[in-house]
Structure 1
Amino acid sequence: MAFSSTTSTDRPDYSVPQAGNDGISSLSWSPNQNILISTNWDGGVRCWEVQEQMGQVQAAPKAQVNHENNSPVLCSTFSADGSTVFTAGVDKAVRMWKLGQQPTGPPQQIGSHTQPIKSIGFINSSNLIVSGGWDNKLNFWDARSPNPVGSIDLPDRCYDLDVRGNVMAVATANKNVIVYDVSSGQPREHMRKESPLKHQTRCISCFPDMSGFAVGSIEGRVGIQYNNKAQEKNNFAFKCHRQAENVYAVNAIAFNPIGTFATVGADGVVTFWDKDNKQKLKAFPSKNKPISCASFNAQGNLFAYGASYDWSKGSGFYTPNTPNANEIFIHPTSQEEIQPKKRR
């Protein structure tokens, strides 16, 4: 599927101070204010208060906590009221950090898996945290109890999950995709299918209207999929994050509240897309290093993305202690960049 494209002028994006000493694995915005959280391979969970005025951005570092033994943190999410951050990673623990409280040690552990935890989400309808691990488990947690309130066996290791309203999409190894209805206390499987992409899944993200999801692969492709059989005729896939003969992983897919979305890749490029009109809205200049993660704020007027090594080329290309090796940027999004455009 080919996308038509538009371009716009650029100015440098704001570089967030104190972005960490190792790879940036996730970025999450508070649902009700411009508080940004990052997780890093150095074990850190960092918090900034972000202010934006007339397209000018400032981010003030507020606090930092570290997972036990500085083990890599892989994922993060916020509670519905924005008061609490939940993180997980290689230490196999689900942890909770109430913002405004500076722990004397690692954030409080509220759950665990038997293998590293790759992705985490928050289910507003039931106030439960969901974690997906490499132990082939989806576990559901009430922050007040150390034991899971529910558990689902997955067909393989969890590579990514996303919760949006009453819908949760989970992508696992071997190209499995499972969509759940989480509107009640007991998640119900709605659909199970194979990814439409030929190669390993890297990321998954639900549409803001909960009607479907986008899935990205290591081979520079994104699949747009609808959850309702009546809309399956609108499913399609497209190529992206490619330069000449080189093909790069799609590391993250982030939806804007109005339904357009961004992809970020191992090629160092950020691109905004309009799935409904099959248009490329904007391509950012390359950062000349992989973009590992990305997220729009709740209003959709700020877009944060992390530039750091993503391990897509293995340990041989990892160069620690390089100046500016790990950077977080915030881009103020204008309406013309993210607004769907009528097809000519």
Structure 2
Amino acid sequence: MATFGAAANANTNPNKSYEVTPSPADSISSLSFSPRADILVATSWDNQVRCWEISRSGTSLASAPKASISHDQPVLCSAWKDDGSTVFSGGCDKQAKMWPVLSGGQPVTVAMHDAPIVDMAWIPGMNLLVTGSWDKTLKYWDTRQQAPVHTQQLPDKCYSLSVKHPLLVVGTADRNLIVFNLQNPQTEFKRIVSPLKYQTRCVTAFPDQQGFLVGSIEGRVGVHHLDDSQQNKNFTFKCHRDGNEIYSVNALNFHPVHGTFATAGSDGAFNFWDKDSKQRLKAMSRCSQPIPCSSFNHDGSIYAYASCYDWNKGAENHNPATAKSSIFLHMPQESEVKAKPRVASGRK
């Protein structure tokens, strides 16, 4: 069983990343950068949604807390409107709130489910918010209306979803991966059993909408292409493992410029990968606590990640005295995130 001992606890920031302050009082559940500016939003188990403005000068970073709002219960997910004006958040109070963060307006409830909302995304091509819940539904919302535009039944609880219009990928319990073409959102485009043997933790759509990544609790990632003629490009690989210790892959983020991606895991590490050359570009040092969530900023020059207890060992292993929740910012060097040219073998 994986443990984080006292010795490891001394090394809370081994990558010498910039720490965003003040830290949330409890575990961090999601991080989302604005698509237009270096504004970072974090949701956490202390029922709060917090916003910071990040500024960069050469190789140094600074953060300034801007504002925060509250939910009635722990907040699990967040998303930005594509114009960077508005933040959406959802969680255990079964509702999604819309917060006009740039104008300093008050949050309003724009979505309701019958169970916690665990993931969400704004769909720019449709001007709709999509929310996924443990109530086994996806709901699409026009934020000017009280009722959902469409409710889509899922085969099981939603765990993760990702949109790159017109592609929507949903990971549910029982290893289902459901693909929707948003030009016809009321019909499943494809249903796939995960190529990974264990529970899905996260999914993310390829930037070119041609497929998706899926991560699981077994420290493995699957690379899946949708086109039947591209199936020979599908593969899975191991990551976030240490000898016999196996850790969950908690977050998958594509770099917005280079098309490479980052994985973050319960081992406290984040790594950068190139799926096309099947290479790990950079392995970062392990933090003393798990990394439950992460996000690139709009140009990929900043990678935000949280380090905190992720509840994968239950409440009995949670020690508030040692389990500080931190948000760190890493500035990737080009060599860490830019794909390396493939070397031709010379063989015919």
Q: 2:221 aligns to what SS in structure 1?
A: strand
CA-based RMSD = 1.4
Q: 1:265 to 1:11 in 2, by over 3 A?
A: closer
Contact 2:86-2:102 at 8 Å conserved across structures: no
Contact 1:125-1:183 at 8 Å conserved across structures: no
Runs of 4+ in 1 over 3 A off after TM superposition: 100-104
Name the aligned partner's letter for residue 282 of structure 2.
K
Q: Alpha-carbon deviation of 1:342? A: 2.6
User: 1:119-130 to 2 correspondence within 5 Å?
Assistant: 119-130=119-130
* Correspondence for 1:298: 298
* Correspondence for 2:331: 332
Q: Out of 39, 56, 59, which is 2:43 matched to? A: 39
Q: Hey, what's the Cα distance between the residues in 2 that align with 1:318 and 1:243?
A: 22
Q: Hey, what's the Cα distance between the residues in 1 that align with 2:128 and 2:239?
A: 35
Q: Hey, what's the Cα distance between the residues in 1 that align with 2:149 and 2:302?
A: 35
Q: 1:190 to 1:13 in 2, by over 3 A?
A: same
Report whether the alignment pairs 1:15 with 2:19.
Answer: yes
User: 1:158-307 to 2 correspondence within 5 Å?
Assistant: 158-183=158-183, 186=185, 188-257=187-256, 258-307=258-307
Q: Out of 68, 71, 84, which is 1:82 matched to? A: 84
Question: Which digits, 9 at most, give the CA deviation of each residue in 1:159-207, with x for residues without a partner?
Answer: 00011132111000000001111246x4542211000000000000111
Q: 1:11 to 1:239 in 2, by over 3 A?
A: closer
Q: 1:51 to 1:188 in 2, by over 3 A?
A: farther
* Correspondence for 1:54: 58
Q: 1:231 aligns to what SS in structure 2?
A: helix
Q: Alpha-carbon deviation of 1:24? A: 0.5
* Correspondence for 2:6: none
Question: Which digits, 9 at most, give the CA deviation of each residue in 1:106-130, with x for residues without a partner?
Answer: x311110000111001101111000
Q: Hey, what's the Cα distance between the residues in 2 that align with 1:206 and 1:269?
A: 22
Report whether the alignment pairs 1:113 with 2:117.
Answer: no
Q: Hey, what's the Cα distance between the residues in 2 that align with 1:226 and 1:341?
A: 21
Q: Hey, what's the Cα distance between the residues in 2 that align with 1:342 and 1:317?
A: 45
Name the aligned partner's letter for residue 96 of structure 1.
M
Q: Alpha-carbon deviation of 1:38? A: 0.5
Q: Hey, what's the Cα distance between the residues in 2 that align with 1:11 and 1:73?
A: 28
Q: Alpha-carbon deviation of 1:76? A: 0.3
Q: Hey, what's the Cα distance between the residues in 2 that align with 1:267 and 1:275?
A: 21
Q: Alpha-carbon deviation of 1:19? A: 2.3
Q: TM-score, normalised by structure 1?
A: 0.93
Q: Hey, what's the Cα distance between the residues in 2 that align with 1:11 and 1:175?
A: 34
* Correspondence for 1:63: 67
Q: 1:291 aligns to what SS in structure 2?
A: coil
Contact 1:125-1:182 at 8 Å conserved across structures: no
Q: Hey, what's the Cα distance between the residues in 2 that align with 1:142 and 1:216?
A: 30
Name the aligned partner's letter for residue 332 of structure 2.
T
Q: 1:316 aligns to what SS in structure 2?
A: helix
Question: Which digits, 9 at most, give the CA deviation of each residue in 1:211-232, with x for residues without a partner?
Answer: 1110000000000001111111
Q: 1:72 to 1:321 in 2, by over 3 A?
A: farther
Name the aligned partner's letter for residue 60 of structure 1.
A
Report whether the alignment pairs 1:142 with 2:146.
Answer: no
- Unaligned regions of 5+ residues in structure 2, if any? 1-13, 344-348
> How many residue pairs were aligned?
329
Q: Alpha-carbon deviation of 1:239? A: 0.5
Q: Alpha-carbon deviation of 1:54? A: 1.7
Calculate percent identity across the aligned residue pairs: 45
Q: Alpha-carbon deviation of 1:103? A: 5.8
- Unaligned regions of 5+ residues in structure 1, if any? 1-9
Q: Alpha-carbon deviation of 1:152? A: 0.2
Q: TM-score, normalised by structure 2?
A: 0.92
Contact 1:123-1:182 at 8 Å conserved across structures: no
Contact 2:262-2:272 at 8 Å conserved across structures: yes
Q: Hey, what's the Cα distance between the residues in 1 that align with 2:299 and 2:143?
A: 27
Name the aligned partner's letter for residue 167 of structure 1.
L
User: 1:85-100 to 2 correspondence within 5 Å?
Assistant: 85-100=87-102
Contact 2:85-2:103 at 8 Å conserved across structures: no
Q: Hey, what's the Cα distance between the residues in 2 that align with 1:229 and 1:259?
A: 22
Q: Hey, what's the Cα distance between the residues in 1 that align with 2:210 and 2:265?
A: 25
